[in-house]
Structure 1
Amino acid sequence: MSKRIPPLADFAIKNAKPKSKDYKLSDGYGLYLLVKRTGVKLWQMQYRYHGKPQTISFGYYSDKNGRIILSLSDARDKRDDARRQLLKGLNPTAVRKQEKATALKEENNTFEVVARQWHEKFKSSWEEKTGRRILASLKKDVFPIIGKTPISKIETPDMVDLLSKIAERTLETAHKIKISCQGVFRHAVLTGSIKHSPMADMRNVLPSVKNNHFAAPTTPKDLAPLLRAIDGYEGTLVVKCAMQFAPLVFVRPGELRHAEWKEIDFEAKEWNIPAKKMKMKRDHLVPLSDQAIEILRKLQPLTGHSPYIFPGQRSLLRPMSDAAVNAAFRRMGFGKDVIVGHGFRATARTILAEVFYFRVDIIEHQLAHIVKDPTGRAYNRTEFLPYRRVMMQKWADFLDMIKENNFDPSPIILEVSELIAIS
């Protein structure tokens, strides 16, 4: 029978003095206090694993000032944990190394680190402006709060609290940040950093945002004075032509600004926009009316040597500013509650459907929205092209007529009725 070792007492540990050689004060079941000749007192445990002697250190009893770091009671708890691991067939030393490696990985796998990895991976699939906005919002509202927290330690209540505080300031921003953070956690799951996203189900965590549509005139009566003001604009020719061109093609402002001469086919009267410039990342074809071609012909002698149809004032190698058109509207006296550059899409969408009675799916396709046929297949870039050519020319004629205050919709509707019936 092995000799029972009497347990240590706190006073014995405190009074243990250094000697010429290191020595041990045993507590039983392999635990002992190593008193080094330097005066340092260290908790260790001896055990056997697969028949081989092993030693594991638990930590110092006190610091150099005598303050207790790891008490006798805490050291016994660690010994008991190690013994339970041995009963399970685990090596406590190997478990300790794995715990340290996991802790180090978590320390280096903070939310900010993973968020920047996510942003770097997906930024090429976003518009450049969108990528900058996403990162800026994370830097401002998220990184200061949870940026340095290991992503595996972030829980659902943490995210609810963060989003709720942002929503108190601006609900729309909170919704955008919610989407970004969901993307970060989804990326973390796919890369193995976490097993489950704390934002897997947060559908009702924020109130809904009221849909604020882009300001736009949606009746001939409201649209006519705006078109006449554009024709009378006294600013730069590039900006004026951009404002005249925008309602004729009703593309997104970014697509308009980045339009290049090489994308224009004057003979076919088409503008072919590559997928990388489109929001939906699909090639898009815009049939050009006679009026649109006329504007391009007028502008070509001025900007034809630039890659961009509407270059910036400071450099022909860069597109015009994203604020140029809206700033021109403001100078003409039209507030942002009346018109913004994006608004011509809503103008065309409404009037083409309600005045001309063109089929909604044809209009939506020209707006470059994802439209699917009855089989679920997305229409390709040339779908409905004959009808869209007619629609775009009739639309341009309509804009000319309302500027002259002589618009009667019935002749145009009658002219296209047969074509619409066939479609």
Structure 2
Amino acid sequence: MALTDTALKALKPTEKPTKHSDGGGLHLLLSPKGSKLWRLSYRFDGKQQTMALGAYPAVTLADARRHRENVKALLAKGINPSHHAKLERITKRASNAVTFKAVADEYLLKIAKEGKADTTQNKKEWLLGLAMPDIGSRPVSEITAAEILVPLRRIEAKGNYETARRVRSTIGQIFRYAIATARTDNDPTFGLKGALTAPVVSHRAAVTDKKAFGGLLRAIWAYEGMPETRMALQLMALLYPRPGELRQAEWSEIDFDKAIWTLPASRMKMRREHRKPLSAQALAILEELRALTGDGKLLFPAVTSRTGTMSENTMNSALRRMGFTQDEATSHGFRASASTLLNESGQWAPDAIEAELAHVGADEVRKAYHRALYWDERVKMADWWAGEIHTMKSQVE
């Protein structure tokens, strides 16, 4: 006779174990101490075998019957249910061992081997670190969109909408890597694209008016703070690299005889070596700087450590002390200033300006051609721009 929940609840233990059948090999074993244990007997390859399904009522009567039907389905396919259950337990343990942090660490190691820039690597580590307390120890295959939303909402609550967006994107990269390496079959970040507050797009502040730029230059050349900071800003104006490229520059990259600064591919945004011609004015500033930091590796070491680089906030903080707000001038803004004024001059090919800025388009052949073709023009442009800077900072109204 089939069992019922009422009958199961009413069972009383006896001195010896008793077996109560539900049919199809499923039965409940009642121990003398009162425990009620589900068992399922079946025959495979001519041998009688028994599986333990758990204890009642944690495993309900309905659960036990579902197990019985699953076993029947496996037997029909010629699969040993005991072996199948063992394999599932092993798979689950392996899945639980593959945490989000383990996959993230593996992914970061992978992109490091592929030669991603240190700045890119550090940025990804920092972004992932914002979510690790919430999902780092969780099995990657079990993480849900709701779990990922927890750290994202916390970041948003601080008003950091762009950071939240980047954290979501970086977490998505980890999940796509996990999918590609058979650790999971789902990227839960996909469904969160519309859940986050869209950041207001704002361009980095830059002075693009010639007279206003002259005022900025005068303030920089008259800056009375740390001389290394003043020289960093002067070189930003003359050479307009990305701020990180200048802050991390090493003396071994400067060829004073050939007047060339060679930036290695490892530090370039587009992962290509980039050479910049140095004007006489830039070389003079570098000579002055060499007297201060030339005994070390870095052009601009940190104040607290000769092995660390100047803080990314140092130049912007100096601009604030000069009276320029973050909406008026930033260290990155020198690139826009130079690009605008060089293009407005009408004296230089736009592609030569783009080459000097180390901007990269889609056509690889065209890029290689222009790098070679425009070198001589870029050398002349560097000298002309240095002369323009001298003129602009000297014109006081």
Into which bin does the TM-score normalised by the smaller protein fall? 0.7 to 0.9
Aligned counterpart in structure 2 of residue 95 of structure 1, from 79, 84, 99: 84
Which residue is 2:221 aligned to? 231
Kindly indicate whether residue 113 of structure 2 is the aligned counterpart of residue 118 of structure 1. no
- Note if contact 1:371-1:378 (Cα within 8 Å) is conserved in structure 2: no
Please name the residue that 1:350 is paired with.
340
| Alignment partner of 2:31 out of 28, 31, 36 | 36
Code of the residue aligned with 2:222 in structure 1: it is G
Name the CA distance, whole Å, in 2 between partners of 1:50 and 1:376: 70
| Number of matched pairs | 394
1:135–1:297 Cα change, 3 Å: closer
Matched, 1:297 2:292: no
Larger Cα Rg: Structure 1 or Structure 2? 1
Distance 1:299 1:160 in 2: 48
- 1-side partners of 2:220 and 2:9: how far apart? 90
Give CA deviations for 1:367-399 in whole Å, capped at 9, x if unaligned: 111135585665585452111111111111111
Q: Partner of 1:264 in structure 2?
A: 254
Q: Does the CA contact (< 8 Å) of 2:360 and 2:367 recur in 1?
A: no
Seen in structure 2, the aligned counterparts of structure 1 residues 27 and 206 have a Cα distance that, compared at 3 Å, is closer
| Secondary structure of the structure 2 residue equivalent to 1:106 | helix
Q: Deviations over 1:119-164 (max 9, x none)?
A: 4433575554554443444343x44555555433445677689767
Task: Confirm whether residue 79 of structure 1 aligns to residue 68 of structure 2.
Answer: yes
Q: How has the CA–CA distance of structure 1 residues 379 and 205 changed in structure 2, closer, same or farther, with 3 Å as cutoff? A: farther
Deviation per CA, 1:316-354, whole angstroms, max 9, x where unpaired? Answer: 333222222112112221221221111111111111111
Question: What letter matches 2:13 in structure 1?
Answer: K
Describe how 1:306-321 pairs up with structure 2 within 5 A: 306-321=296-311
Higher mean C-alpha deviation, range 217-226 or range 23-32? 23-32
- Closer, same or farther in 2 for the Cα pair 1:240/1:71, shift >3 Å? closer
Of the two structures, which has the highest relative contact order with CA contacts closer than 8 Å and spacing of 6 or more?
2
Cα 1:100/1:379, change in 2 over 3 Å: farther
RMSD: 3.0
Given residue 27 of structure 2, which amino acid in structure 1 is its aligned partner?
Y
Cα shift at 1:178: 2.7
Tell me which residue corresponds to 2:13.
17
Name the aligned partner's letter for residue 91 of structure 2: T
Q: Which residue is equivalent to 2:180?
A: 190
Q: Structure 2: 5+ residue runs without aligned partners?
A: none
Separation (CA, whole Å) in 1 of partners of 2:361 and 2:125: 31
Which letter does structure 2 place at the counterpart of 1:118? Answer: Y
Which aligned pairs between 1:395-406 and structure 2 lie closer than 5 A? 395-405=385-395
Out of 47, 50, 55, the position equivalent to 1:52 is: 47
Q: Is the 8 A contact 2:232 2:315 kept in 1?
A: yes
For residues 211-237 of structure 1, the C-alpha deviation after alignment (integer angstroms, 9 at most, x for no partner) is 322111112101111111111111222
Higher mean C-alpha displacement, 125-134 vs 187-196: 125-134
Deviation at 1:202, TM superposition (A): 7.1
Alignment-derived partner of residue 271 in structure 2: 281
Shift of 1:284: 0.7
Q: Secondary structure at the match of 2:141?
A: helix
SS of the equivalent of 1:152 reads coil
CA distance in 2, matches of 1:19, 1:208: 69
Contact 1:364 1:371 in 2 (8 A): no
Alpha-carbon distance, 1:95 to partner: 2.4
Deviations along 1:275-330, whole A, 9 cap, x unmatched? 11112221110000111111112222222211112223233333222222112112
The residue identity in structure 2 corresponding to 1:55 is T
| Contact 2:116/2:271 (8 A) holds in 1 | no
Q: Residues 10-39 of structure 1: CA distance to partner in whole angstroms, max 9, x if unpaired?
A: 43673342324x443333211122233444
Q: List per-residue Cα deviations over 1:152-200 (Å, max 9, x = no partner).
A: 3445677689767865744312321232122111111111112343445
Counterpart of 1:171 (choices 157, 161, 170) is 161
Any gaps of 5 or more consecutive residues in structure 1?
A: 1-5, 62-67, 408-423
Q: Map 1:200-239 onto structure 2 (within 5 A).
A: 209-239=199-229
Say yes or no: does 1:107 pair with 2:96: yes
Change (3 A) 1:260 1:8: closer
Write the letter of the residue equivalent to 1:289: S
Change in 2 beyond 3 A, CA 1:90/1:162: farther
If the length of structure 2 is used for normalisation, what is the TM-score?
Answer: 0.87
